Each structure stands twice: as structure tokens, then as C-alpha cells.
């Protein structure tokens, strides 16, 4: 009986009974996994009464709540808002309903639903009669966000005078696609910003380096430059340097600040600091902790100068900072408090703080904010500097004629000890980790280590955190990549302490999420790239296409399955971005040499020698298939001899192949063109591989003089991919 109830509750909570992997094998969700996920969602499976009550509450929702907290409609469909009202017998005709709608400009519309209600449905719940009626507001005809208030004020109802509120979202039919991209195809360069070596930075790439790259790239016919997520990090090795495991998706990492752009920071550079910066630049790997410490120390000095000057004297710069604080509202103050508390307790993991400070609503936190205003203002000041430099980089990209400009990346979540979780704890399932099931490139699966949002609670809160994350990351973006976009449909949840193979999928309200993305995309004029790699559920790609989001297609994976031969260029979808590889996969040079296979073997990632040998054989087969595909297209001559090592000619030939696809965007990895062997990240490892710490094999100054990029530009121009400025 209890198992049957558990299965029923699991189904109601969106836990998928099982999934098919890329090879067609079915993996059922075990009872143990279902139980763990339900516990993480807050359900007590040991109490039969509580279990029955939970099931009933979900089944009866929203009948007992009068109105749902959020309603999302497409502009192409009628806006009909359902109300669920308990009534006295035979008195439903006497019910009056006052409706008030507030738009984003503060304009209010009022309406009154009188007698003769059109009852759509009725139910008797616990001996009480409930009716469902629908309200169709005349005012909601344009995309946007609206606040709706409902008052039932007639004696015919058992809830006379009760006020209820709901958020109404009207979304455009599709996400934004720029006029240029509607008719043309383009290309861009993908850069791991942190990895750049230059004469001016302090040991990792920064906004100044990005500006220089943008000016240079604009002269080569590119339309965009893509960078890794810029989210705030703890910058501590080894667990807090991945740009995909942030402290917050709303705020950014100060390590990307161009210190040469801050005059007071330059003034404090004595010989000792200069030697330290030189040492950091010469290090083979990025030392996040030391770079962050140096920058933070310098920023404290610039802040002191700013506080005593512009801020207290109320100069135009001081006024600009005050306006920024007002626009950012309470969210930024709370983030600054989190950073100041992290400093106080010497850890960014709020779970390790003294108990009173683990809850942002606790009086101890409010007292801390009151007593440490200057420290909190300092961390707000840092975000203001980041915002200013980021906006300047964005302006630069448009001034020099990149038609799309900056392409940003939104990580799927934040770490368990992060600000995002601390500030929104009730939204998260803390005893679960997001990840991915086993596949060819990650045979053990992936455990990303951060907790998922409970989809039911996300909706109950009107999707506020999701909307904020989109807005923040679209602010200075001509394009935005949604990391692991499959997570908009379903997410792979792994119970705490279990292997990734023991996880299960949980369904998400994908249509609501896609509509919100479409609305924010059109408002910000941001093209959406939905990273749809991995174990793809049924109709996922078709749904993303319907909403005008670009599919993310990788050369390595685009095959004529079950035949392993490479997909012909013309068969790539038009509404897509195509690329050869990503940070989680081998570079073209590394792929050709099989370096990733040897590295995974050395790291113990293969269960046995047979699997390793099979990977070697498949890679040899793939090399032959690549050459065959390039010859078939006439890009390589028929008598071309397969090289042992990757060459510039062959690398450019692969990108020529992608240039011929109908894909709206082709994204070129900087690492591929400069001949990098090692991939940036090896999934499934933390400190056994130099993830996120590897610097470019060439300095930025050398890259800007490298003739290979001119030859790359010529390849794209020949295939009709040139951004005309």
C-alpha cells in the first residue's frame, strides 16, 4: 500500500519512472531513488496520513486556493484566468468578483464580474461545493508582466472579502532573432576569458583583454565573441573555480575587473606587488586565490579613495553609484551582506556559519547589516565597478560593428553553499545534486554538486528567481547560451551520497519557462542558444525550435545514427549554432591525437582495459570518417593523406565543413585555432586534472598578430559568413 502511494506521489511530483539512454537502453528509477527524491522535496514517507494528505493536496490544487500564484499565456492564445470559489448551495449566481490589474508602468485597470457567471466546472470537496469560472481581461493584449488582485465580496460566497493576488505573464510567441540573423549566417569566436595571458592582466584574463579581442575580431568579419559564464565565484581551489558552479548567477566575479582601468589601483603598485603580479602572469596555471586576494586588496584601497572623495562629496560619479544602488534594490544589499559574512567567517559556504546567520531572515543578519554598512557598501561598490566595465565592453562590441556582440553563458545552477541558495533556501532541494547520466564521454555520469530548485515551489513563487537570473545575464548580451537547456524540461537528480547512475529525471514546467525566456529575450533583444546536448527527451528539440531558440550542434556528435558517419552539412538545422567542441570535450588537436582518452585512462575513468581499447578503436575510426566527410564535400582533395598530428589545414577544413551548414551561427574555439592540446575541463574530476586553470598556449599579443585567424576569416567569407560593418 505504502509503495503504491509513494509511486503515486512520485508521479504527481514529476519524478519520471525511467529513461532511455543514447544507446536505447532503459533505466528505471529505483524505489530507493524515488524515496530519496521525495524526502528532498519535503515529504514524510513514513507517515501514512501525511502521505495521503500530500497526494490529496496536489490533486486538489488549485481548487482550494481560489487562484494560482502565476498564469503564463502566449500572445497568440486567449487570456482566460480561472478562479476556484467555494459557494453556498444554489447561491453561485449572487457572487460578485472585483478584479484589479496593475501593469508595469503603474497603470491600474479595474473590472467587476457580476451575476450570471459562466461555470466551467464544479466539484464537491469535503462536502463543500466549489465552482470554476474564467475571467478574460480585455486589457491584457501586449507581452509583459501584470499584477492581478481579486476580491470576492458577495454574500453568495463563503470567502467574502478575501483578497488574493496572482502574477500574469503574457509572452511573445518566439524568442528574439535579430533582423541580420533572420536573413544571414554568421560566425564568432569562443574564448575562455579567464585563460587569456596578456601583458596587462594580473594573471588571468579580464575585461581589458576582452576589449582588445573585440576590436581585433571586428576586423575579421565575425559577428560575436562568446565567453564563459562570468558568475560570482569563491575563487578558491579546487572546488570553487568552475564558472559553472557559482556563488550566484545574479552577480559577477570581480576577478575579471581590468585593474589598469582603475587609477587608484595603479597608484598602489609598489615594486613588491609588481613582482607578485609578474609571478602570477608567469605561472603555468591560474592561481585564482592569489589573484583574487591581490585584486581585493587593491579594490579596498580604491573604495577608500572613492568613499572619501566621490561618495561623500556627492560628485556625479557618487550620484551614479547611488542610482545603481537604488536600481539594484534589496537583492544587491543581501548579496553584499553574504560576501561580508563570508569574510567574517572565512568561508563562502553559509552551511558552515554560526546557526543564526544561516537564515537571511534571522535578526542576527539584519543586525550585522546595520552594524557593518561600510563593509557591505564595499561589496556593492565592487559589483558597480564590474557592471560599469561590463557595460563598456558591451558598448565597444556594438561600436566596432559586431552585429551580435557579446555572447554570454548562463549556468544551470549555483553551489549548495552559495548566495542564491542561502537567499532562497525554501526553493531548493538540499539533499539532492544535479547531474547527468552516464554517456560515452562521461562513463560514470556527472554529479555537478549543486542542489536543484523544486519545480512546484518555483512556480508557487511566480518564477521570480528564474526571471531575475535571465534579466541579469541578458543585460549586456546580444546572445545568451542556456547551459543544459534540457533542464528546462527535466533534470537529472542524484540522491546525496549516491553514484550518478542511481539518479532519476524530474519533470519541469517547460512551457512556462520557455515562455518567460521568450519574453525576456525579446525585451533585451538577446538571441537564445539552447544547449541541448546529452540524453534528449521526446519533443524537446522541436519545442525549443517552436520558441525560436537555436539548437546547439557539435560536430563530434552530429552523425548519421546508427551509422557513425558524420552528418552532411546541409542536414544541420537552420535554427542552430554549430561548433566543433566545448570546454568539456577535447579540442580538435587533442581529439585527433587521442589525448583525452589517455588522460581518462590515467585518471581511472575506464572500468576495464576493454573499454579503453574500444575507445582507441572508435577514435581511429572517427579520424577516418572525418577525412572521408571532408573529401566528400570537396574541402580536401581525394589524395589527401591522413596526418598523424592535427594540422592547420585540417583544422580549418573542419571549420570550413561547419561553415557550409545552414546553421545561423558557427562558433570557433580559440583553443582550436592556436593549437591547444588539452581540454579546459575533464568532467568527473576536481583536482586530479587542471580544470579551469589552464592558460592559453599563446599570449594575447601573439594571438592578435597570428595569421591563422586571417585565414580562418577567409574560410568563412568564402562560404558567405561575413559580418559587414
Residues 85 and 11 occupy one common structural domain: no
Does 92 map to a domain?
yes
All three cell numbers of 207, joined, read 575585461
Task: Quick: pLDDT tens for 271-321.
Answer: 888 899 999 999 999 999 999 999 999 999 999 999 999 899 999 999 999
Structure confidence by residue, pLDDT tens digits, 68-127: 999 999 999 999 999 998 887 666 666 778 889 999 999 998 877 654 578 889 999 988
Q: Kindly state whether residues 144 and 115 are assigned to the same domain.
A: yes
Last residue of a domain, one of 151, 171, 191: 171
**What's the pLDDT tens digit per position in 93-108?**
667 788 899 999 999 9
Q: Is residue 188 part of a domain?
A: no
Among residues 553, 587, 559, 550, the alpha carbon closest in space to that of 658 is found at 553
pLDDT for the residue numbered 91: 62
**Dist CA 219 CA 615 (whole Å):** 41
> Is position 328 within any domain?
no
Instruction: Assess if residue 304 is contained within a domain.
Output: no
Tell me: do 52 and 81 sit in the same domain.
no
Cβ neighbours, 10 Å, residue 621: 12
How many domains does the chain fold into? 2
| 3-state SS class at 274 | helix
Residue 44 and residue 126 in one domain: no
Helix (H) or strand (E) holding 527: strand 527-530
pTM for this model (two decimals): 0.95
Q: Per this entry, what is the length of the chain?
A: 725
Domain annotation covers residue 324: no
- Same domain, residue pair 101 and 139: yes
Pairing relationship of beta strands 70-74 and 162-171 according to DSSP bridges: parallel
Residues 81 and 49 placed together within one structural domain of the fold: no
Cell 532562497 appears where? 424
Contacts of 351 (CB under 8 A, 6+ apart): 358, 416, 417
What percent of the chain has a predicted confidence (pLDDT) above 70?
Answer: 95
Distance CA 236, CA 347 (A): 10
The alpha-helical segments, DSSP class H, found in 633-688 are 648-659, 670-673
Which of residues 152, 171, 190 is at a domain's end? Answer: 171
Identify whether the C-beta of residue 242 lies closer than 8 Å to the C-beta of residue 230.
no
Using CA atoms, how far residue 347 sits from 57, 232, 350, 352, in Å, is 40, 14, 7, 7
Q: Nearest 10 degrees: CA dihedral of 599, 604, 605, 609?
A: 90
Contact 60, 41 (CB under 8 A): no
Burial class (CB in 10 A: 0-12, 13-18, 19+), 220: middle
* Domain range enclosing 152: 76-171
Residue 284 in domain: no
Lowest mean pLDDT among 1-10, 153-162, 201-210, 268-277: 153-162
Last-in-domain residue among 146, 171, 196: 171
Q: Residue 293: what pLDDT?
A: 96
CA separation, residue 423 to residues 208, 268, 384, 527 (Å)? 32, 36, 20, 29
Rounded to an integer, what distance in angstroms lies between the CA atom of residue 204 and that of residue 254?
Answer: 12
Same structural domain, 87 and 155: yes
Q: Are 94 and 145 in the same domain?
A: yes
| Confidence tier at 621 by pLDDT (50, 70, 90) | very high
User: Residue 102's pLDDT is what?
Assistant: 92
Location of C-alpha cell 470567502? 159
Question: How many Å apart are CA 281 and CA 696, to the nearest integer?
Answer: 12
Q: 34 with 92, same domain? A: no
Residue 725 has pLDDT above 70, yes or no: no
The average confidence (pLDDT) of the chain is: 93
Give the highest mean pLDDT range of 12-16, 118-122, 126-130: 12-16
User: Do 94 and 115 form a contact (C-beta atoms < 8 A)?
Assistant: yes
Q: 82 lies in a domain?
A: yes
Strand partners, 81: 135
- Residue 184 and residue 217: Cα distance in Å, rounded? 19
What are 79's three cell numbers?
487570456
CA–CA separation, 174 vs 540, rounded Å? 15
Are 88 and 27 in the same domain? no
How far apart (Å, rounded) are the C-alpha atoms in residues 413 and 58? 26
Residue 646: the pLDDT is 98
d(C-alpha 581, C-alpha 668), whole Å: 9
Is the pLDDT confidence value at 535 over 90?
Answer: no
- Reported as a single tens digit per residue, the pLDDT across 469-523 is 999 999 999 999 999 999 999 999 999 999 988 999 999 999 999 999 999 999 9
Cell of 471: 534579466
Phi-psi domain of 586 (left: phi exceeds 0; alpha: psi -120 through 50; beta: other): beta
Rounded (to 5) percent helix, strand, coil in the chain: 40, 20, 40
According to DSSP, the residues that pair with 407 across neighbouring strands are 226, 479
Phi, psi angle pair for 70, to nearest 5°: -150, 140
In this structure, the strands spanning 550-554 and 527-530 are parallel
82 and 155 assigned to the same domain? yes
Could you tell me the three cell numbers for 310?
566621490
Here the cell at position 589 is 588537436
Q: Which of the four pLDDT bands, split at 50, 70 and 90, describes residue 25?
A: confident
Which residues face 167 on adjacent strands? 70, 147
Q: Could you give phi then psi for residue 437, rounded to 5 degrees?
A: -70, 165
pLDDT at 362: 97
Position 532 in a domain: no
Looking up residue 164, the CATH number of its domain turns out to be 2.60.40
Q: Taking a C-beta distance cutoff of 8 angstroms, is the pair 225, 189 a contact?
A: yes
How many angstroms separate the CA atoms of 497 and 22, rounded?
A: 25
Segment 541-554, tens digit of pLDDT: 999 999 999 999 99
Shared-domain flag, residues 155 and 84? yes
Amino acid at each position: 500500500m505504502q509503495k503504491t502511494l509513494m509511486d503515486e506521489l512520485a508521479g504527481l511530483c514529476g519524478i519520471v519512472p525511467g529513461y532511455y539512454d543514447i544507446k536505447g537502453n532503459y533505466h528505471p528509477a529505483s524505489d530507493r531513488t524515488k524515496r530519496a527524491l521525495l524526502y528532498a522535496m519535503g515529504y514524510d514517507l513514513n507517515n501514512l496520513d501525511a502521505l495521503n494528505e500530500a497526494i490529496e493536496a496536489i490533486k486538489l490544487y488549485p481548487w482550494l486556493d481560489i487562484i494560482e500564484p502565476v498564469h503564463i499565456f502566449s500572445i497568440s492564445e486567449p487570456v482566460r484566468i480561472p478562479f476556484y470559489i467555494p459557494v453556498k448551495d444554489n447561491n453561485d449566481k449572487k457572487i460578485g468578483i472585483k478584479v484589479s490589474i496593475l501593469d508595469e508602468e503603474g497603470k491600474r485597470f479595474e473590472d467587476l464580474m457580476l451575476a450570471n457567471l459562466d461555470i466551467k466546472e464544479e466539484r464537491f470537496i469535503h462536502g463543500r461545493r466549489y465552482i470554476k469560472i474564467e475571467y478574460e481581461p480585455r486589457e491584457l493584449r501586449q507581452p509583459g508582466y501584470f499584477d492581478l488582485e481579486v476580491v470576492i465580496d458577495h454574500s453568495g460566497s463563503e470567502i467574502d472579502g478575501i483578497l488574493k493576488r496572482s502574477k500574469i505573464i503574457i509572452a511573445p510567441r518566439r524568442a528574439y532573432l535579430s533582423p541580420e540573423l533572420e536573413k544571414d549566417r554568421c560566425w564568432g569566436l569562443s574564448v575562455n576569458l579567464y585563460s587569456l595571458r596578456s601583458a596587462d592582466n594580473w594573471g588571468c584574463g579580464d575585461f581589458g583583454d576582452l576589449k582588445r579581442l573585440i576590436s581585433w575580431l571586428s576586423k575579421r568579419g565575425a559577428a560575436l565573441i562568446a565567453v564563459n559564464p562570468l558568475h560570482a565565484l569563491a575563487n578558491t581551489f579546487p572546488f570553487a573555480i568552475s564558472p559553472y558552479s557559482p556563488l550566484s548567477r545574479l552577480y559577477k566575479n570581480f576577478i575579471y575587473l581590468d585593474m589598469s582601468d582603475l587609477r587608484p589601483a595603479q597608484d598602489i603598485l609598489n615594486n613588491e606587488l609588481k613582482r607578485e603580479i609578474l609571478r602570477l602572469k608567469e605561472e603555468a596555471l591560474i592561481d585564482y586565490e592569489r589573484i583574487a586576494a591581490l585584486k581585493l586588496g587593491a579594490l579596498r584601497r580604491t573604495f577608500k579613495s572613492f568613499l572619501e572623495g566621490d561618495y561623500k562629496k556627492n560628485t556625479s560619479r557618487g550620484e551614479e553609484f547611488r542610482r545603481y544602488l537604488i536600481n539594484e534594490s534589496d537583492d544587491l544589499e543581501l548579496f553584499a551582506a553574504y560576501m561580508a559574512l563570508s569574510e567574517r567567517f572565512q568561508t563562502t559556504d553559509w552551511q558552515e556559519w554560526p546557526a543564526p546567520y544561516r537564515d537571511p531572515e534571522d535578526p542576527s543578519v539584519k543586525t550585522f547589516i546595520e552594524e557593518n554598512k561600510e563593509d557591505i557598501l564595499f561589496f556593492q561598490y565592487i559589483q558597480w565597478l564590474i557592471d560599469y566595465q561590463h557595460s563598456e565592453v558591451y558598448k565597444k562590441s556594438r561600436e566596432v560593428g559586431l552585429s551580435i556582440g557579446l555572447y554570454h553563458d548562463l549556468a544551470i545552477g549555483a553551489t549548495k553553499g552559495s548566495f542564491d541558495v542561502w537567499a532562497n533556501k525554501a526553493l531548493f532541494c538540499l539533499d539532492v545534486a544535479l547531474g547527468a547520466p552516464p554517456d560515452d564521454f562521461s562513463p560514470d555520469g556527472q554529479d555537478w554538486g549543486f542542489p536543484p530548485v523544486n519545480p512546484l515551489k518555483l512556480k508557487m513563487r511566480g518564477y521570480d528567481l528564474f526571471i531575475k537570473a535571465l534579466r541579469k545575464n541578458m543585460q549586456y548580451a546580444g546572445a545568451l547560451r542556456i547551459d543544459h537547456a534540457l533542464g528546462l524540461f527535466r533534470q537529472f537528480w542524484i540522491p546525496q551520497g549516491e553514484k550518478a547512475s542511481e539518479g532519476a529525471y524530474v519533470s519541469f514546467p517547460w512551457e512556462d519557462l520557455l515562455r518567460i525566456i521568450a519574453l525576456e529575450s525579446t525585451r533585451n533583444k538577446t538571441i537564445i542558444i539552447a544547449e541541448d546536448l546529452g540524453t534528449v527527451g521526446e519533443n524537446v528539440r522541436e519545442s525549443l525550435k517552436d520558441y525560436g531558440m537555436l539548437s546547439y550542434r557539435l560536430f563530434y556528435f552530429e552523425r548519421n545514427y546508427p551509422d557513425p558517419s558524420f552528418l552532411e552539412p546541409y542536414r544541420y538545422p537552420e535554427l542552430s549554432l554549430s561548433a566543433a567542441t566545448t570546454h568539456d570535450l577535447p579540442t580538435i588537436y587533442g581529439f585527433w591525437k587521442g589525448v583525452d582518452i589517455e588522460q581518462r585512462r590515467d585518471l581511472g575513468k575506464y572500468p576495464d582495459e576493454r573499454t579503453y581499447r574500444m575507445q582507441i578503436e572508435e577514435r581511429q575510426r572517427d579520424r577516418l570518417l572525418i577525412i572521408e566527410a571532408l573529401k566528400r564535400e570537396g574541402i580536401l582533395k581525394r589524395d589527401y593523406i591522413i596526418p598523424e598530428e592535427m594540422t592547420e589545414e585540417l583544422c580549418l577544413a573542419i571549420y570550413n565543413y561547419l561553415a557550409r551548414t545552414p546553421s545561423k551561427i558557427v562558433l570557433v574555439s580559440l583553443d582550436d585555432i592556436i593549437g591547444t592540446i588539452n581540454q579546459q575541463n575533464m568532467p568527473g574530476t576536481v583536482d586530479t586534472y587542471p580544470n579551469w586553470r589552464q592558460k592559453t598556449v599563446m599570449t594575447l599579443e601573439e594571438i592578435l598578430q597570428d595569421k591563422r585567424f586571417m585565414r580562418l576569416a577567409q574560410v568563412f567569407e568564402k562560404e558567405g559568413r561575413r559580418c559587414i560593418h
